Structure 1
Amino acid sequence: MDIKSVVGRNVKRYREMKGISQEALAFDADLHRTYVSGVERGVRNPTVLIVAKLATALGVEPCKLLEMQG
């Protein structure tokens, strides 16, 4: 699995655990909703700054978005 897919799955998992929509996450992270959608689908290649924004909005450490789930 490539790193874009890993980040996307983790963003979606933490977002759903938090019980918020892509739109709410995008607002909290100061990103566009379609960008968040692209990250979750693994078609966007987020920079470390974007990973940090998403992690902050999700209330997790950025490294959690990069972890491969066993």
Structure 2
Amino acid sequence: MPFATPSPLRRVFAQRVRAERKRLGISQEELADRAQVHRTFVGAVERAETNISIDNIGRISDALGVNAADLMVSPSE
């Protein structure tokens, strides 16, 4: 079954997570370790393939050292 088209918010979140991870110079695997999630989950998040839970949003934002709300706002806003 093909993935449903991701929502604009999910796409923004995915882009922001990837940008923050790259800014820190860490791999998806390192982010996964820091966030205590599976490494393939981080890839799915960054590709906007998964509808992430609020708990995992918190884990990822903490691991990146950013406010969770900042990951849901396009950098141009």
Shorter chain as normaliser: what TM range? Answer: over 0.9
Percent of pairs identical after alignment?
34
Specify the code of the residue in structure 1 equivalent to 2:8: D
Partner of 1:9: 15
SS in 1 for 2:16: helix
Q: C-alpha distance in 1, partners of 2:20/2:70?
A: 9
Q: Identify the match of residue 30 of structure 2 among 14, 19, 24.
A: 24
Specify the code of the residue in structure 2 equivalent to 1:61: N
Deviation of the 1:20 alpha carbon: 0.1
Alignment pair present for 1:57 and 2:63:
yes
The ranges of structure 1 where at least 4 consecutive aligned residues each deviate by more than 6 angstroms after the TM superposition are none
Specify the code of the residue in structure 2 equivalent to 1:50: N
With the length of structure 1 as denominator, give the TM-score of the two structures: 0.94
Please identify which structure carries the higher helix content.
1
Q: C-alpha distance in 2, partners of 1:18/1:55?
A: 13
Specify the code of the residue in structure 1 equivalent to 2:21: R
Structure 1 residue ranges without an equivalent (≥5): none
What RMSD, in angstroms, separates the aligned Cα atoms of the two structures? 1.0
Deviation of the 1:2 alpha carbon: 1.3
Structure 2 residue ranges without an equivalent (≥5): 1-6
Deviation of the 1:4 alpha carbon: 1.1
Deviation of the 1:37 alpha carbon: 0.2
